[in-house]
Structure 1
Amino acid sequence: MRQKYIAISLLACVLTACSHNDENIVVNDGPVVAQITAGINLPTRASGTTWDAGDAIGVSTVSTTATTGGTHYLNMKYVTTAADGNFTHFGGEASGIFFQDASETVTFSAYYPFDEDSQERTTAGTINDVTTSDQSAQKNFDFMFATGATASKNSPTVKFNNTDNGTTDARFKHMMTRLVLNITTDTGAGFTADQVASGTYTLSGIKHSGTFNTEDGTAEATGNATDNWEITDYITYTNNIGTCSLILYPQTGASLTFSATIDGQTYTGTLTPAFAASTSYSYDISIQKTGLVISSGTIQDWTNGGGDKIEIN
């Protein structure tokens, strides 16, 4: 009788072990949560260095290899809390993206900054209520877009980078255009550095309204160009060189008038950047009492759009 009880006990242990193993198999066959990491196609952001804590992106699936069903998500909000490029769903892991099919490979796209007026799980739309007239708020319109990142249930980390997606560079790219003005003078120009630093500066010919398509990353200007847009407050001076870095909507046919008013006298010059998307244009402006000298500079960030050399007397 004792041997019978022992045999029954051993059988119960075996059945319990099988039950636990079965439970583990069910868990492994269930949905797997996506992990998201993101890099930027530049060493620096125009509005700051790398990601900032609290930055939010909108993530969507572009395609899946699954023949039926599969993973489909639209405009999911992910946030980097530590500014390290690792993003988690703002509502917690249980509310985020899960892979359903073990055999599928899913391609993702994402945009920045997340449109707070939009809703998750709806088609990403167009942001059309942001202007560039207040350059102190560049973070609100430094629009970026990424696509081509792939992941699967067996490899669930969605990597928006340039090393883990075959030949595809899936890093975030700036979709606006950038204009950099470097303002200088010298002892033979008739002005002191302090006089230049206390001057008033404007640009005419820029369109500040525009749209950003969060589905394909296209940014473009709309509306009319403005006159006498003052940029004085956006100039920072280091070693007697004033630098003004502006983020603007891509626009065609722009011919800009740069004006400097110093000691009651106004000096003007013309700039004609192409203002292509993802491109930066730099101009060195030397202020002299005989006029302005505007020449092109070298760009390290974004795509180098160059510039022209213009002398005004």
Structure 2
Amino acid sequence: MRKIYFFAVVALALAACDNDDKYVDNEPVAAQITANIGNSISSRAAGTAWDTGDKIGITTFRENEQGVNESKYVNMEYTTENGEGKFTGTPMYFQDAQAEVTFTAYYPFTGTEGTAPAIIENNTRAEQQTLGNQPNFDYLWDSRVGKKGQPNINFEFAHKMSKITMTFQDGEGTDVNKIESYSFDGLVLEGTFNPATGEAKAKEMDSETLTLNVENVISGTARPSIIVYPQTTAGQVVLRIVKDGQTYKCELAFAGGELKAGTDYQYTITLNKTGAKVTKSEIHPWSLQTGTGDATME
């Protein structure tokens, strides 16, 4: 009887362990959200660090038994409280241990939690091209897959806009510190961003002139970048530089006649008495493109 009793206890213990394991496996597990831009956790919209209180929107998709994607969590508002790249918000749970869930995320957050965000319309005119305003339209997007056994979702956001960076260089007998303004002719300055797909694009409309008034230009030091919508340019974009009342004209060529998403186009402009010259320049935070061209005085 003692042996029978012993084995009965063991059997009960094993059954209890088995039941406990099943119970634990059925417990919901919350997704843990972190977000980087490219390869740097501190890099963010417009090339700066995440700010305290920055918000992203997250939507989840899971394929049901009929092969149709269902969204349990829609446009969930997640915030980085300390600007360190860890985001928190209303918990999003994995229920099924085997099911994979797709997470899409965009920046900056818009709309209302629980409601799919609408396509965002905006413009990139001169008043928007400040360090304070650029993060509002430097759109970011990414998609990741997670499951219950792998609840850590680490978004690697990509820039969805295009960027142009100018550096002005003293040439023979010139001083770029006297530049008063520079402008771009041939860019479309209105566009849209779709938070569901991550597509940013310029509208089909006439191009405009984007003029930036400047002072204290330092030779060899990059100016703050402008951010514009990805677009196909109708020919070349014309750069005009005003210095001492004289206008310098330069044509900027983009590979394939296109400004691509996530690309920073950098130009170094050397001003001389009789004109200016454009040289190639590498970029780092966004993907590399180079540009060439010639400039003459008007």
Shorter-chain TM-score category? 0.7 to 0.9
State how 1:1-313 maps to structure 2 within 5 Å: 29-43=26-40, 44-45=43-44, 47-64=46-63, 72-89=72-89, 95-115=90-110, 118-128=111-121, 130-133=122-125, 134-136=128-130, 137-147=133-143, 149-160=144-155, 171-186=156-171, 188=172, 190-196=173-179, 199-222=180-203, 223-227=205-209, 229-233=210-214, 237-238=217-218, 241-254=221-234, 255-273=236-254, 274-312=258-296
Does the aligned pair in 2 maintain the 1:66–1:101 contact within 8 Å? no
Shift of 1:236: 7.3
Quick one: which amino acid aligns to residue 126 of structure 1?
Answer: I
Q: Please say if residues 185 and 287 of structure 1, whose CA atoms lie closer than 8 Å, have aligned partners that are also in contact.
A: yes
Could you say if the C-alpha distance between residues 87 and 145 of structure 1 is closer, same or farther in structure 2, counting changes exceeding 3 Å? same
Shift of 1:292: 1.9
Give distance in 1, aligned partners of 2:45 and 2:219.
21
Residues 238, 289 of structure 1: CA spacing in aligned structure 2 closer, same or farther, 3 A cutoff? closer
> Which deviates the most, 151-160 or 211-220?
151-160
1:56-89 Cα offsets, whole Å, 9 max, x none, are 1111113347779987222111111111111101
Contact 2:168/2:176 (8 A) holds in 1: no
Contact 2:282-2:289 within 8 A present in 1 as well: no
Displacement of 1:119 after TM fit? 2.1
- Listed one character per residue, the Cα deviations across residues 107-126 of structure 1 (whole Å, up to 9, x for unaligned) are 211111111xx222223431
SS in 2 for 1:266: strand
Structure 1 SS opposite 2:190: strand
Q: Give me the whole-angstrom Cα distance separating, in 1, the residues matched to 2:250 and 2:290.
A: 17
- Cα distance in 2 between the residues matched to 1:62 and 1:236: 51
TM-score by length of 1: 0.76
Q: Deviations over 1:272-297 (max 9, x none)?
A: 22211111211111122211212221
The number of aligned residues is: 269
Distance in 2, Cα, partners of 1:281 & 1:193? 21
Q: Is the 8 A contact 1:260 1:268 kept in 2?
A: yes
Letter in 2 for 1:176: M
Uncovered stretches (5+) of structure 1, i.e. residues with no partner: 1-17, 90-94, 161-170
TM-score after normalising by structure 2 = 0.80
Is the contact made by 1:71 and 1:101 (CA closer than 8 Å) also made in structure 2?
no
Partner of 2:3: none
Query: Deviation digits for residues 125-150 of structure 1, max 9, x if unmatched?
Result: 3111x211111111001101101x22
* 1:240–1:150 distance in 2 versus 1, CA, 3 Å: closer
SS at match of 2:73: coil
Alignment RMSD (CA, Å) = 2.8
SS, match of residue 194 in structure 1: helix
Q: 1:70 to 1:99 in 2, by over 3 A?
A: farther
